[in-house]
Structure 1
Amino acid sequence: MDQFDPATIARRLIELRTEHRDLNLLIDRLNDEPGVDQVALTRMKKRKLRLKDEISRLESLLIPDLGA
């Protein structure tokens, strides 16, 4: 399977967006709870940011290079 194949990238984007959405919902829910483990919450937020960066990187691979 080619990692630069648009279909492969699109499938991976779906997976990452789903994980990002689920993590966002969990973070929102935990923010409202007293006594939540702040270290764990911070790790989740960092994971969410890494997912967002990976999503952006993959989306950019799907954009044709108009300068070529």
Structure 2
Amino acid sequence: MTELEMKKRLAALRSEHRDLDIAISALLETGGPDQLQVARLKKRKLKLRDQIVVLEDYLTPDIIA
């Protein structure tokens, strides 16, 4: 995977992460009884965050000071 492809993937993951945040907020505001769906969305959001961190670490070089 090239650096450009990784940056595009990172942008897509961030966008999906934001979308999930909005969806979770909307479900919590309605106070619906569907807590299982909220839990699934939160779990997906955490997995996305892990993938984002991995890509960010790869794209950002360590600077030894």
Given the two structures, how large is their TM-score scaled by the length of structure 2?
Answer: 0.88
Gaps of 5+ in 2: none
**What is the alpha-carbon root mean square deviation over aligned residues?**
1.3
Give the % identical residues.
44
Corresponding residue to 2:52 among 37, 55, 62: 55
Query: Per-residue displacement from partner, 1:20-43 (whole Å, max 9, x unpaired)?
Result: 000000101110112231111100
Q: In structure 2, what is the equivalent of residue 15 of structure 1?
A: 12
Size of the aligned set, in residue pairs, is: 64
CA distance in structure 2 between the partners assigned to 1:34 and 1:65 by the alignment: 44
CA distance in structure 2 between the partners assigned to 1:36 and 1:27 by the alignment: 13
- The letter of the residue matching 2:26 is R
CA distance in structure 2 between the partners assigned to 1:36 and 1:19 by the alignment: 24
- 1:45 corresponds to 2:42: yes
Name the structure where helix makes up a greater proportion of residues.
Answer: 2
